[in-house]
Structure 1
C-alpha cells in the first residue's frame, strides 16, 4: 500500500485551559482542532501553522510537539502540536470553517 498524505494540527489552549476547536463546513461537519493535509515540500510544522492561519486567522507562538498518530486505514501519520499563546484576531474563513470556540477539556 502506498503511503498516504500526512496531516498536521495545532491544539491551541487559552489562559483558562480551554481548547480551541473549529467547526467544519464539509464532510461530517464536525468540531476539530485546526489542521489539515501536509503539502508537497512542506514540513509538518509549516503545515500546522499554515492551516491555523488559513482556517482561523491566527499565528501560534511557541509551538511544541504534542503527539504523533498513525492511521493504518489511510497509511498516514497525523502530527499534533500544542501552543498556549497566539497572535491575531480569531476569524473563520467561511469556506472550510464556519464557527469556532474555546471548550473546557471536560
Structure 2
C-alpha cells in the first residue's frame, strides 16, 4: 500500500507531513547526485518512509530503487527540518518533510543511469557541483561540500 497516495485520497492537496531518508554516497571524495526527471535538478538518492520501515530500511530501499546500488554501513549524517523542507508540487500537492540523511562510501552494484525518477547519475567533486541543486536538499549537500562533521541537526 502506498501511504502517500492513501493519505492524499483523504486530504487532497493539503499539507502532508512525511519523513524522507536519503544517502550521501561518496567515492574518491566525490558525491553521487541524481538528475531528477520531474524537477530538472540534482539531488542525493532517497525518498519517503513507508509505514513500518526504519530510517535505514527506507534509505537502503530508496537508493536501490533509484540507482541500482546496495549501500552498507550507513552513518547518520544529519537531521534536517524547517522552512526549506516544504514543497508545493506542480499538481498543487503540499508536503512538509523531515529529512534523515545518512552517509556512506560502502556500496556495491551497477549504477543504473535512468529510472522513473531520474535522468542520470554522476559523481561530483566538491568544487564542481551543478548549479541547479534541489532546493530542499541544498543545505545538506552544501554541508557535505564544507566537510561539516556529523551529526548535524538543523
With normalisation by structure 2, the TM-score equals 0.62
Separation (CA, whole Å) in 2 of partners of 1:81 and 1:29: 23
Measure how far apart 1:43 and its partner are: 1.1
Quick check: 1:23–1:29 contact (8 Å CA) kept in 2? Answer: yes
Higher gyration radius (CA): 2
- 1:75 and 1:91, CA in 2 relative to 1: closer, same or farther beyond 3 A? closer
Separation (CA, whole Å) in 2 of partners of 1:6 and 1:30: 21
Measure how far apart 1:33 and its partner are: 0.4
Answer 1 or 2: which has greater strand percent: 1
Separation (CA, whole Å) in 1 of partners of 2:29 and 2:103: 12
Separation (CA, whole Å) in 2 of partners of 1:95 and 1:75: 23
Higher relative contact order (CA 8 A, sep 6+): 1
**SS at 1:49 equivalent:** helix
**SS at 2:18 equivalent:** coil
Of residues 68, 72, 91 in structure 2, which corresponds to 1:57? 68
Measure how far apart 1:62 and its partner are: 1.1
With normalisation by structure 1, the TM-score equals 0.88
Measure how far apart 1:75 and its partner are: 4.5
Unaligned runs of 5+ in 2: 1-14, 87-94, 128-154
CA RMSD in angstroms comes to 1.6
Look up the match of 1:102.
Answer: 123
- 1:87 and 1:6, CA in 2 relative to 1: closer, same or farther beyond 3 A? same
1:23-70 CA-partner distances (Å, limit 9, x unpaired): 1111x2210000011111111111110010000000112110000011
Q: Does 1:85 align with 2:113?
A: no
